[in-house]
Amino acid sequence: MKRPFAWLALAVAVITLVAGSLYYVRIKRFWGITQTDFSVFYHAGYQMDRGTSPYEYRSTHYTTDAEYLFKYAPPVGLAMIPMSRLAVQDAIRWWYALTGLALIVALWGVRRLVRPTLASPAHAALIYGLLLLTILRPYLATLRLGQIDVVLAACLIAFLAALAARRDWLAGWWLAIPILCKLVPLVWLVYLAAARRWRALAWTVIAMLGYLASPIIHLGLAGTGRAMRAWLGVLGTSGGNVEWLLRYKNQSVLSTVLRIIAGPHAETVTPSQWGIALGITGGLGILYGAWVWRAIRRARQAPDALDTLAAPSLVMIAMVIFSPHAWTATFIHLVLPYGILIAYLVTRGRRDRIGWGLLAGSFLLVSATAPDAGLGSVLSRTV
């Protein structure tokens, strides 16, 4: 097949158009009742445009559920102002288009990173087809609720591509965006320090400070200070929601351990159960961190493209599964690990039964038995 990536981009565009059209009808018909993440972003831009705080959920126009309280840094609300000036039905269509474009950018970044391993256009076509299949379910979940995960995944892939090209300043500006949105990507700062990429680390800190100062343009110094204090206040109160951690849809390591210890229908957690769960999760995290450190050391000694991408892939996986909340949409960040594993299996490990089994098992977990789909909704309530 000639130009396989062009066909991949076309497939993403068609999927986005069809699925977005179906979701749009649902949102347009039930807007104000149906709660979506995009309603939070839209409202945040609206409030920022008026010079008021987007962090007071009593002023939310489109939802009163605290789960949908805006929790991102003030610059994210500032970036949503252009969207909020459109009618909400028009804005969601642009958001769908941005989401589809972000996925194409993320896939293009994966293509650049694993391209040295592609032996032929036929191999590339097979890799792209398998990759799209594995991430399709998380992508549709992201699209359905108007979530931001695909955009953040594109930023992280762009960060890694810039890092591989030794453009540390650009890598820092890309990485700062997801950090200010969800904070969990702060783990990449640890990776940069472990990999001794000090310039990229410094540029990330500079970029974060620059982004945090950007609302001064619209809110002024005093207004930006109030917004920052409100954001920090929200962060201080939003992480202890036990109900979120016990939800069957939460596939994080901590949530899984808590459900095993407390029981599938538990609504509260005792201090001893907390201690056991945190101890097990922390122990698993230490073991996983040692695995990442080994991959970083190996990458310094091996110029092989797949070896150099092993550590970033492991960090990407850790960012998802060790996050307090790992919903279906967050698994879109596995686009890079999936791309590397599939590229290895197609080009080198065709007889690697463990690798193919890992890919199949991961696909079943993330897609076929996703916690909000069919069989997964049954399995996730008991595991």
Q: Which residues of the chain have pLDDT under 70?
A: 1-2, 26-35, 56-68, 116-119, 236-244, 247-248, 264, 302-307, 348-350, 352, 355, 362-383
Q: What SS3 state is found at 31?
A: strand
Please return the burial class of 362, using the count of CB atoms within 10 Å of its CB with bins 0-12, 13-18 and 19+: middle
Q: Spell out a b/e string for 320-354, using b for 16 or more CB atoms within 10 Å of the CB, else e.
A: bbbbbbbbbbbbbbbbbbbbbbbbbbbbeeeeeee
Contact 343, 117 (CB under 8 A): yes
Cα–Cα distance, 185 to 191 (Å, whole number): 10
Task: Give the model's pLDDT for residue 49.
Answer: 86
What was the pLDDT predicted at 374? Answer: 44
Name the amino acid, one letter, at 249. Answer: K
Can you give the pLDDT at residue 157?
94
Q: pTM for this structure?
A: 0.86
User: What's the CA gap between 161 and 176, in Å, rounded?
Assistant: 15
Helical spans, DSSP H, in 31-148 = 37-50, 74-79, 81-84, 88-114, 121-145
Question: What pLDDT, on a 0 to 100 scale, did the predictor assign at position 237?
Answer: 64
Beta-carbon contacts of residue 167 (< 8 Å; ≥ 6 apart) = none
Closest CA to 306 of 108, 118, 106, 105: 118
Distance CA 257, CA 295 (A): 26
77 and 47 in contact (C-beta within 8 Å)? yes
pLDDT value at residue 161: 92
